[in-house]
């Protein structure tokens, strides 16, 4: 089966584009086909680097995965206790640390986890490792003890809306991808939830949640006033409620439209979604220090 690199839009794609166009190119074009053993080594290296994750991103992901597992099991009628959830977390935590220390670039694609820090020679010491686990454990504890989890458990299963991994909708002929952590119907409204484990700016959250609301409004054909978006920062055990209204939905539509136009303006062939690396400038600066592609972009790994 031949996959085609189709154009799509997502909030994370927009972030990468704004941070550095070259990083966006590597993430969405340069890596393509890098999973094929016969591909050029440079492409395979870009694909390998794309999959690195920093310890902060990774810890957030595994907390999300465990919560998703707990909710999916609950839906199946299996109650997972907090200590069981922490045991799952511990297993995944240890396995990923081992995999990351063993895995190196081999020229073949691999599903093994690799830390950005290990690839770039930044040591994660024992104290940092213990702090990471403590943070994840406290997130799970906060989630289990939260009113939100209680409210979810009390809500009839037929009112749970989504626990799918990747959702998409059509926006003026473009596919928009999003991933909603949880949504349910309540008293004639749809409530969207997003779990946060970091220190995201509220303005970014607002944008992301309005995008989710756009999807919900379109899919369920309901008015924005009947959608409520909530952020649950499980690290801080703090909840924020975001208002959704017609003006906000119009704003997000304008935002996505402009972002798509800017991305497509740089393409060599818009219909075929073909991009040339030189057309995506390197924005060297703040983001380079934590950029997965530094080895290829600035350190000459592709010349070895
Ligand atoms: S290393 Fe810097 S310039 Fe290169 S892709 Fe990353 S952020 Fe952009």
Of 16, 22, 277, 299, which is best to mutate to test ligand 1, by the most ligand atoms within 8 angstroms of its C-beta?
A: 22
**Ligand 1 atom closest to Cα of 22?**
5
Read off the pLDDT of residues 201-244 as tens digits, 9 standing for 90 and up. Answer: 666 688 889 999 999 998 889 999 999 999 999 988 888 898 89
Cα angle value 184/194/211 (rounded, 5°): 85
Query: Which residues contact residue 286 at a Cβ distance below 8 angstroms, ignoring those fewer than 6 apart?
Result: none
200 — pLDDT class (breaks 50, 70, 90): low
- Whether the predicted pLDDT of 303 surpasses 70: no
CA of 180 to the centre of ligand 1 (A): 29
pTM for the full predicted model = 0.92
- Which atom of ligand 1 is the closest one to the Cα of 283? 3
Ligand 1 is surrounded, with C-beta below 6 A, by 20, 22-23, 282-284, 287-288, 291, 293-294, 297-298
Q: How far apart are alpha carbons 215 and 245 in whole angstroms? A: 14
Cα 193 to middle of ligand 1, angstroms: 33
70-120 pLDDT, tens digit each:
999 999 999 999 999 999 999 999 999 999 998 888 888 888 999 999 999
Residue 206: the pLDDT is 82
Categorize the per-residue pLDDT at 64 as very low, low, confident or very high, splitting at 50, 70 and 90: very high
Query: What are the backbone dihedrals phi and psi of residue 215, each rounded to the nearest 5 degrees, phi first?
Result: -60, -50
For residue 286, report the distance from its CA to the centre of ligand 1, in Å.
9
Neighbours of 239 (CB within 10 A): 14
- Ligand 1 atom closest to 21 (CA): 8
**CB of 11 closer than 8 Å to CB of 207:** yes
Domain ranges of the chain: 30-150+284-303, 151-259
Q: Which CATH number fits domain 151-259: 3.10.450, 3.40.50, 3.30.70, 1.20.120?
A: 3.30.70
Q: Which residues contact 243 (CB under 8 A, 6 or more apart)?
A: none
3-state secondary structure at position 261: helix
Closest listed residue to residue 148, CA positions, set 184, 199, 108, 116: 184
**Per-residue pLDDT for 163 more than 70?**
no
């Amino acid at each position: 089966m031949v996959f085609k690199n189709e154009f799509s839009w997502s909030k994370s794609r927009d972030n990468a584009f704004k941070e550095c166009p070259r990083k966006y190119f590597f993430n969405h074009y340069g890596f393509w086909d890098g999973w094929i053993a016969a591909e050029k080594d440079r492409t395979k290296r870009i694909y390998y680097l794309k999959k690195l994750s920093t310890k902060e991103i990774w810890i957030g992901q595994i907390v999300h995965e465990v919560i998703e597992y707990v909710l999916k099991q609950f839906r199946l009628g299996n109650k997972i206790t907090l200590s069981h959830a922490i045991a799952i977390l511990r297993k995944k935590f240890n396995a990923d640390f081992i995999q990351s220390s063993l895995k190196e670039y081999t020229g073949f694609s691999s599903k093994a986890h690799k830390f950005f820090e290990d690839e770039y020679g930044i040591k994660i010491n024992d104290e940092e490792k213990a702090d990471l686990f403590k943070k994840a454990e406290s997130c799970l504890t906060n989630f289990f003890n939260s009113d939100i989890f209680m409210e979810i458990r009390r809500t009839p299963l037929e009112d749970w809306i989504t626990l799918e991994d990747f959702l998409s909708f059509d926006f003026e002929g473009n596919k928009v991808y999003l991933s909603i952590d949880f949504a349910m119907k309540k008293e004639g409204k749809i409530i969207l939830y997003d779990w946060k484990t970091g220190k995201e700016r509220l303005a970014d959250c607002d944008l992301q949640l309005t995008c989710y609301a756009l999807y919900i409004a379109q899919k369920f054909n309901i008015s924005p006033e009947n959608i409520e978006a909530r952020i649950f920062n499980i690290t801080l055990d703090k909840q924020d409620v975001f208002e959704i209204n017609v003006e906000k939905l119009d704003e997000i539509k304008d935002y996505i439209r402009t972002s798509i136009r800017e991305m497509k303006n740089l393409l060599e062939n818009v219909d075929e979604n073909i991009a040339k690396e030189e057309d995506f400038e390197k924005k060297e600066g703040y983001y380079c220090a934590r950029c997965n592609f530094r080895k290829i972009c600035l350190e000459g790994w592709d010349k070895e």
